[in-house]
Amino acid sequence: FAWEWMYTKSYYHTPDMQSQHEILNKIATLIDNSELQCTLTQSLSPIDANNLRKAHSLVENGHMIGKIVVADRQK
């Protein structure tokens, strides 16, 4: 399980927080130009014990390629 909060710079008002805007714009451009692809391969919803067990099982079996997201709602 990994957690990353991409708004840390703006939340803590770090001196380089403007770079977050630049990074997100660059990523958006790369995705729009099909130069960068998301590694998401499966999304499970809602966040509950059953879906957490299922996500863990998929990763644990050693054959998972990409990322699994467990979210409170489907996008």
Provide the domain limits for residue 64.
38-75
Domain count, the chain: 1
Give the type of residue at 62. Answer: G
Q: Tell me the pLDDT tens digit for each residue of 52-69.
A: 999 999 999 988 888 899
The per-residue pLDDT for 35 is 95
Q: Tell me the pLDDT tens digit for each residue of 3-31.
A: 667 788 888 899 998 998 898 899 889 98
Distance CA 4, CA 49 (A): 21
Query: In this model, does residue 74 exceed pLDDT 90?
Result: no
Is residue 57, in this structure, part of any structural domain at all? yes
Is residue 43, in this structure, part of any structural domain at all? yes
Q: What is the value of pTM for the model shown?
A: 0.55
Is residue 19, in this structure, part of any structural domain at all? no
Measured CA to CA in angstroms, residue 54 lies from 1, 17, 40 at distances of 13, 37, 16
